[in-house]
Amino acid sequence: MRFEAGEALEPVIGALSDLEAVALTVNAYASLDTAEADYKLLKQADTLLATLEDEPENFKAADSTLKAVIAEFGHFSLWRAFLGVKLYGVWTSRYLRAFESKVEDENALVLAVRPRYQLAVWKIFNDPGEKVVLGNGEGRWLFYRQDVEFLVQPSPLDVRSAKLDNPIQAILKFREQLKAKGVELLVVVTPGKPSIYPERLTAADIDVAGANAAGHGKAILDSLARLGLNTVDLYTPLLAAKADDASLGPLYLNDDTHWTPRGAELAANVIAKKVSELAESGVVDIGEPSMEFVASDSIADRMGDIGEMSGLNKFNVFKVQRVTGHVVSQQEVTERDSVTYDTTRTPFKDDFRKAKILILGDSFSRIYQTDAPVNAGWIAHFAKEMGRPVASIVSDGGASTLVREKLARKAGVLKGKKLLIWEFVERDLRFGAEGWKEVNF
């Protein structure tokens, strides 16, 4: 009965909502005048109809409102309601054409003026836009403003951040949910570029960010470790690896939020070492190595995501950066009488059926992995180091909540898994999409 009521009400509610939405939009340019009272009556009818299915106690109010509609319009029907609004001029061509012309004029003006204005501001003030922070020194790197703000704003655990979701509580809850399914959790917090290279921020930012570099993210990671969670510290090895930048190249891209292939491979090695330690100590059983992988050089051109955010790339202000990744392939060797006579290489791929390790990640897990040069990201190199199949679920910018929601929708992928590695960038501790909500499995 409830389903039939909902099915019957759905087209009525939808039609009323569409009608009211258009009326409101056009009303920005044309007064409803004496139709205002009638419009409010229609709105009230729409609201009550929408709640009637789940809140039957509203029947009396809905009945009373519909009687008022009948009294006002003579007889009630959607067509009569439509005509009633139309007669007041809201849907006449005069108003619709004016509205359409207004939108077209505004849109054309913005499309024509804004990019040129941004270019002028860049040339005069070296201002790359509201989402971007311009670095200093050689090369003048670009930084994502949220990455910098994460360093200079209070910690997500500070009392001044009380309105934010508590990431530690969400992570602890997730660990318990996984334990109930026989899966261990390993947390990997990826440092943002300014945490590893604060010295490349502008002079005005150095005093503030310098004291907090690798601060909030590392502090929260340490808090998780003290609470008994399995964690991976990428801050210490990445900061130490900067000493070799002159000979090996930087760990992060010039105009991008993400790491270079060198940074990704270093992360893969550190994470693999931690997983091996967990396996050797008996914390998790991931089986014996069962696969062989090889890596080969591949060149890719990267247009930085921060440069794209600035809106200046259409004027070729920022340049493509060429990187050399190392593409991972599975290698199968057939031997006869201790002599190799057949070697087959196949592209790396996720194996949800055989893998005992599942990876949840964000764009740091996607870069080089599913975009150019493909299969050269930290996930593929982690599998290579472990000699085991892995599987992954990745959500760009959504590793705090959205990727767990993805997992919840297909929780069957946890079957046979013994370890879940959860990678997310540190800024998500404050700015994560959808916050740090509890997700039910």
For 304-324, write each residue's pLDDT tens digit: 999 999 888 888 899 899 999
The confidence score (pLDDT) of residue 253 equals: 97
The confidence score (pLDDT) of residue 205 equals: 55
Query: What integer is the mean pLDDT of 344-363?
Result: 94
The confidence score (pLDDT) of residue 95 equals: 54
Is the pLDDT at 92 greater than 80, yes or no?
no
Is the pLDDT at 390 greater than 60, yes or no?
yes
Predicted structure pTM score: 0.74
The confidence score (pLDDT) of residue 140 equals: 84
Among 124-138, 192-206, 419-433, the range scoring the smallest mean pLDDT is 192-206
On average, the pLDDT of the chain sits at 82
Query: What integer is the mean pLDDT of 199-216?
Result: 62
> pLDDT band for position 32 (50/70/90)?
very low
Residue 377 vs residue 122, higher pLDDT: 377
Is the pLDDT at 263 greater than 70, yes or no?
yes
The confidence score (pLDDT) of residue 88 equals: 46
CA distances from 144 to 128, 138, 147, 377 (A): 11, 18, 5, 21
The confidence score (pLDDT) of residue 306 equals: 94
Is the pLDDT at 101 greater than 90, yes or no?
no
The confidence score (pLDDT) of residue 156 equals: 87
Is the pLDDT at 370 greater than 90, yes or no?
yes
The confidence score (pLDDT) of residue 277 equals: 97
CA distance 168 to 219: 12
The confidence score (pLDDT) of residue 15 equals: 52
Is the pLDDT at 188 greater than 50, yes or no?
yes
> pLDDT band for position 117 (50/70/90)?
confident
